[in-house]
Structure 1
Amino acid sequence: MILKRTLATLGLLAAATVQAAGNTPAGHADRTLEIYRHIIEVDTSKNTGNTPKVARYLADQLIAAGFPEEDVRVIPKDNFASLVATYRGDGSSGKKAILLLGHMDVVEALDTDWERPPFKLTQDDVNFYARGSIDNKFGIAQLTSTFIRLKQEGFVPNRDLILAFSGDEESDMITTRMMAYDIPEVAEAEFALNSDAGGGNLDASGKPVSYNIQAAEKTYATWEITVRNPGGHSSQPRDDNAIYELADVVKAIQNHRFPVRWSEMTLAYFQQVGQQMGGELGDTMVRFAYNPDDKEAAERLRTEPAYVGATRTTCVVTMLEAGHAENALPQSATATINCRIFPGIQVSDIQAELEQAIANTGAEFELLGEPVESPISELREDVVGAISKAVHSRYPQLPLIAYMAPYGTDGMHFRSAGIPTWGISGIFMDPDEMFAHGLNERVPIKAFHDALDHWSIILRELAGND
């Protein structure tokens, strides 16, 4: 009963068939691909200092399309930059602005590891390949080109629309914090729509399963755990070697199982996705949705990388550093532990659980950065209605499902600042084929072109005068 009531309240199972939008201008497709190609081929990983270049390029595209220079701002911050571009409305709605979020930076990629050059857009018969092809230069290109398209079509919104593109989402989010808290026109917006989350799931055969709206995300927290030792000469080994002790710490974290957690939203998500997916995994999702105390179902979902994050807090070792010379016993050894914490659980509680799991009183914990705990953004009828129109123009009657992301996005800071935020990417693809942060990141060519009307439909619905 809880699951059915939740879905009905959110209005997620829209049944109306919406006619396909069609009529995508050829120029819009060409322009979006050109923007996509250009920004992908600028390496914007953390240490390059290149996000200002991408911000300036996008700003120039918007200004050339007729946006006033004073409404297109490249805002430097340390080694990065944000882009804040305002599409002025006529104010007839009396409503505050809508933010459109994305990030211009990417995770590092080594040429030697990839089968293709990571910072050159390449393709085969099925996919585009490049670092950032999905995360998040897909969203950046689609949103920027949509602003240009709407301007060329003479669209005048009834409220301001603001692009708010960050420059360091993949690292410290200093540009995100600046926009969310320090730039008045951004901080005073009514709500935000994030291109860096959400989107449609396809099964392995290409059949659409669901469209997922990101309404919450887990808390991102990273620790360095260090074990210290007096060390000594390598010709005189000792049992209390710092690297060996750290290895025990790492294995303890690998073997630790955090408690299963759930909310009405995550249970509703598993119910609907499981029913759409079918098969053994789908049946397991439905079992978990109706009985989250089902240990067998929870353990089965734990083995699925795409879904384990929706069932519990996760912590994983991501980096190691140890020793100072090949002929010396290590004086210290450090492991970096990245955790994605279920909403409502305190960061301090997770550290306490990790300390208990490793059972090493000499291990030093250092929490990196300032973790941000953000609330769930409850869905609202006008936003869901606009998303429904865009999604159902491609896949009529496909269910829309709210979910909690197991990763972190810029949205956490906007939610924390009191701005409801929903992730609503235009992408549809098989989640098992989504290699964001991994090798040979890709986007289906068909998915790229199918998404070209997504933002135009949504923005006309939410800010049109019709």
Structure 2
Amino acid sequence: MPDWDQVEAQASELLAAYLRINTTNPPGQEAAAAAFLAGVFAQHGITAQVAGAAPGRANLLAVLPAADVRQPPLLLTHHMDVVTADPAEWSLDPFGGLEKDGHLYGRGALDTKGLGIMHLLGMLLLQASGRPRHRHVLYLAVADEEVNSTHGMVWALDHWRDELAGATAWGEGGMGVRGVLGPAPFFGIATAEKLSLTLRLTARGQSGHGSSPHRQNANEILAQAIVRLAAWQQPLEITPVAAEMMQQAGRVFGGWRGWLLRRPQQRLAAPLYRSLLAGQPMLAAMLHDTVSVTVVRGGEKDNVIPGLADATLDVRLLPGREPDAFIERLKEVIQDPRVEVAVLYAPTPAPVSPTTNPLYTTLSRVIQRHAPGALVGPMQLTGCTDGRWLRRQGLPTYGLAPIIVDEQELAGIHGPDERLSRANLQLGTHIVFETLTALCGNDAAA
């Protein structure tokens, strides 16, 4: 068996080096990160393919082959690019790879360079174990997830089509989070995602001098539309994935909350559900469509009433929702012909990954062994990941970083002081290794 203290030290060293590579997207510049990962694989006799769709943009594919293939390949994937980080908001350099109080600080520690290191070491430990393997293990590190995946997963699925065909994928998604569904950590394995729809509202009014107010101010027209949208209460809808997750949670809750969670289709209890969700914004977002106003523009001079103003809406729809039907309802809520609605980005539906897949069942079993009492269940992500592209290609995809974090640590994703503990690096690598061992061994399920 591996020396897990030594594995923790190695994982910490690798993650620190990985975090020092600035892959802020845009511009990305993931080629340096791909070269770093390829160098680690080369040290262990694995040749990785590195290729990209544009200068400075790169993706990496490494393969740990099986001599006696009996099962479809297992794909371990993460993205190398990260979002911006303002050093003024951080207590440590976001690209310094520095350690404090047993945590490694850096942009991408949780999203998703930490997962990439756990996958990498789990794969290398499997290689070093010398155990017979009955499926290929693939390692895919991609660019551009934080923007639109054009230079990353979309490109990789086309470029490495044959290598990735038929794989079951393990990527980003949930984590073991304390305090979300009770005191025990909840490991949400993402099997589905909401659909991302981006809209632009354009308010058309009449320009004029600021000293002569009138009712055709485009900014005011737009503001009234936004206020109506903010007051729009979306109906609760419990999808099959959310229902299964809530039933799992209900087993550990007592009182009316447990009763309610164990009966997710109890329509008469809608007021109770709203009371339950009031303090759980993440859970609430899983149960209805959401609209967020993200960009507002109107006017250029302080003494000119604008005749044109616009706003961008980040809309997240439940799986199975028809975007056109939602847009028509949105127009009815706005109730103003002076406000036009245009689609900037329309989603393509993706199937839900089944919980009967061997990766899901094995991962659940291994987590329970390492975190007794933890709650493990399927999760419907409120955001979007590269998993949507994989599912659209017919590849069952499961999203989870196998670590335990609290809400304060979770806030570091896209926020200041993003960090990952050394203890979590060991835990995550241990879970990856045992999951790979089970799935690649003689007892692997079909």
| TM-based fold match above 0.5 | yes
2:33 corresponds to 1:40:
no
Matched residue of 1:306: which SS?
helix
Which of 354, 357, 368 does residue 392 from structure 1 map onto?
368
In the TM superposition, residue 279 of structure 1 has moved relative to its aligned partner by 7.4
Correspondences of 1:126-275 after superposition (within 5 Å): 127-155=103-131, 157-174=133-150, 175-194=152-171, 196-203=172-179, 208-275=184-251
User: AA paired with 1:268?
Assistant: E
- Root-mean-square deviation (CA), in Å? 2.7
Matched residue of 2:82: which SS?
coil
Correspondences of 1:90-105 after superposition (within 5 Å): 90=67, 92-105=68-81
State the match for 1:332 in structure 2: 308
Check conservation: 1:99, 1:186, Cα contact below 8 A.
Answer: no
User: AA paired with 1:48?
Assistant: P
Matched residue of 2:154: which SS?
helix
In the TM superposition, residue 58 of structure 1 has moved relative to its aligned partner by 1.0
State the match for 1:286 in structure 2: 261
User: AA paired with 1:121?
Assistant: G
In the TM superposition, residue 379 of structure 1 has moved relative to its aligned partner by 1.7
Cα separation, 2, equivalents of 1:121 and 1:274: 40
**Which stretch shows the higher mean deviation, 238-247 or 410-419?**
238-247
Unmatched 5+ residue regions in structure 1? 1-21
Deviations 1:161-185 (A, max 9, x none): 1112221112111121122344223
In the TM superposition, residue 278 of structure 1 has moved relative to its aligned partner by 5.0
Distance of aligned partners of 1:254 and 1:198 in 2 relative to their CA distance in 1, 3 Å threshold: same
In the TM superposition, residue 252 of structure 1 has moved relative to its aligned partner by 1.7
Distance of aligned partners of 1:205 and 1:181 in 2 relative to their CA distance in 1, 3 Å threshold: closer
State the match for 1:454 in structure 2: 431
In the TM superposition, residue 412 of structure 1 has moved relative to its aligned partner by 0.7
Cα separation, 1, equivalents of 2:144 and 2:35: 15
Distance of aligned partners of 1:432 and 1:262 in 2 relative to their CA distance in 1, 3 Å threshold: farther
In the TM superposition, residue 249 of structure 1 has moved relative to its aligned partner by 2.0
Cα separation, 1, equivalents of 2:58 and 2:376: 34
Check conservation: 1:210, 1:276, Cα contact below 8 A.
Answer: no
In the TM superposition, residue 415 of structure 1 has moved relative to its aligned partner by 0.7
Deviations 1:258-290 (A, max 9, x none): 22111233122112224325578x448527625
In the TM superposition, residue 149 of structure 1 has moved relative to its aligned partner by 2.9
Distance of aligned partners of 1:56 and 1:23 in 2 relative to their CA distance in 1, 3 Å threshold: closer
Deviations 1:92-144 (A, max 9, x none): 23333211121111222222333443333344436443322211111112112
State the match for 1:437 in structure 2: 414
Deviations 1:1-59 (A, max 9, x none): xxxxxxxxxxxxxxxxxxxxx74444432222122112222332222332222112111
Which of 82, 105, 108 does residue 59 from structure 2 map onto?
82
Cα separation, 2, equivalents of 1:354 and 1:118: 40
Cα separation, 2, equivalents of 1:425 and 1:98: 16
Matched residue of 2:372: which SS?
coil
2:274 corresponds to 1:295:
no
State the match for 2:335 in structure 1: 359
Distance of aligned partners of 1:206 and 1:100 in 2 relative to their CA distance in 1, 3 Å threshold: same
Cα separation, 2, equivalents of 1:285 and 1:135: 33
In the TM superposition, residue 207 of structure 1 has moved relative to its aligned partner by 5.0
Matched residue of 2:264: which SS?
helix
Distance of aligned partners of 1:306 and 1:149 in 2 relative to their CA distance in 1, 3 Å threshold: same
User: AA paired with 2:308?
Assistant: S
Aligned length: 440
Which of 376, 394, 413 does residue 389 from structure 2 map onto?
413
In the TM superposition, residue 445 of structure 1 has moved relative to its aligned partner by 4.1
**Which stretch shows the higher mean deviation, 210-219 or 321-330?**
321-330
Distance of aligned partners of 1:123 and 1:298 in 2 relative to their CA distance in 1, 3 Å threshold: farther
**TM-score of the superposition, structure 2-length normalised?**
0.89
User: AA paired with 1:367?
Assistant: V
Cα separation, 2, equivalents of 1:360 and 1:446: 55
